[in-house]
Amino acid sequence: MSSLPADAIDRLRLARTHRVGPVSYRQLVARFGSATAAIAALPDLVRRSGGRAAKVADPVDIEAEVERVQRLGGEYLFVDSDSYPHQLGELQNAPIALIVRGDTKLLKKPAIAMVGARNSSAASCRFARQIAAELGQSGHVIVSGLARGIDTAAHEGAMEHGTIGVIASGLDIAFPPENKALQDEMGERHLVVTEYPPGTEPLARQFPHRNRIIAGMALGTVVVEAAPRSGSLLTARMATESGREVMAVPGHPLDPRAQGCNQLIREGATLVQSASDIIEAVSHIDPRAANRFNAPPAELFETGGADPDDSARSLLVGLLGPVAVSVDELVRQAELPAPVVQMVLLELELAERLQRHAAGRVSLIS
């Protein structure tokens, strides 16, 4: 506990509260000054938009979680700390708290994400191991998802230089089970990252959240082999939405596992066939400039002293619908100050009436 911020328990309580996502968390803290004050204000905020009271996580449960993380050799990285991965922290939906085990110095190195098919071909696995090793030799750390196939090959290839595995479960659970030894070794020598507390099983709905971390941590994402509509293509899309480089390895048109990569190339992804191609594709990106470019605007989290009235709430609810619209567009059409709009959206989200999407867009939940 000594290494945690003084208000870590309340930060985790707020982050673990149902309906409080990364954007609403930062808005709440910006509005009320601390996680502790935000927790106290939650009941009134939810009441304003007609929602049911939000159940805040029990401090006893959070303290037990922290103890389990520490017993597993893990630690917390909060989004506003210097140790948090900078590339990821610039995304508006970056996790408020990461749980990591291993060598956190790897987070300071330029990262390349490598993803691909679980049922990958032997040739593609060999290629992934080779270029991961070469990228490691060039000073890059490889980020992947510890899944079967290409993920495993990428981690194995980078073992001599540095690799980060992002998982969709707690630190104490390995998925797939046959990668337990690999995950344990990475937790000892490299780094394992998750946003989920110990005991969390890897459910299907959690993998897209894991994928955004993989894409968000890296300067670029390389897709080695992927079928259409696969999780790897979702990761590539998230990389695009984050303003990062997307690269794909071309494959034979008769191999279904190559169709996803070939599709990405047709849509504008950079065709790469070697580690030098990948290094060239990201060489123009200064990580510091990328951070500034991707940084969410301050007004996204600024609610100021805004206290919207019922007319403002009615106006904004009328402008919202099931189709996602940008917050900037809502501000223009409503002709209301941005802090007032953000406060209404926060109230609606806490009342489970609003859904947030990529690129600062929102929609109304029926």
Region label for 87, one of left (φ > 0), alpha (ψ between -120 and 50) or beta (otherwise): alpha
Q: How far apart are the first and last CA of the chain?
A: 42
Q: pLDDT tens digits for 93-150?
A: 899 999 999 999 999 999 999 999 999 999 999 999 999 999 999 999 999 999 999 9
Q: How far apart are CA 145 and CA 155, in angstroms?
A: 9
Contacts of residue 217, Cβ cutoff 8 Å, sequence gap at least 6: 85, 87, 88, 107, 111, 113, 143, 164, 166, 193
How far is residue 136 from each of residues 79, 211, 218, 246, 248, measured CA to CA in Å? 26, 21, 14, 19, 19
User: 292: pLDDT confidence band, cut at 50, 70 and 90?
Assistant: very low
Of 283, 284, 238, the closest CA to residue 115 belongs to: 238
The overall average pLDDT reported for the chain is: 90
- Residue 6: predicted pLDDT: 76
The H or E element spanning position 170 is: none
Which of 71-85, 149-163, 297-311 has the weakest average pLDDT?
297-311
Tell me the pLDDT band of 301, cut-offs 50, 70 and 90: low
pLDDT at 11 over 50: yes
Kindly report the pTM of this predicted structure. Answer: 0.88
Question: How many Å apart are CA 253 and CA 65, to the nearest integer?
Answer: 48
pLDDT at 44: 84
Residue type, 220: G
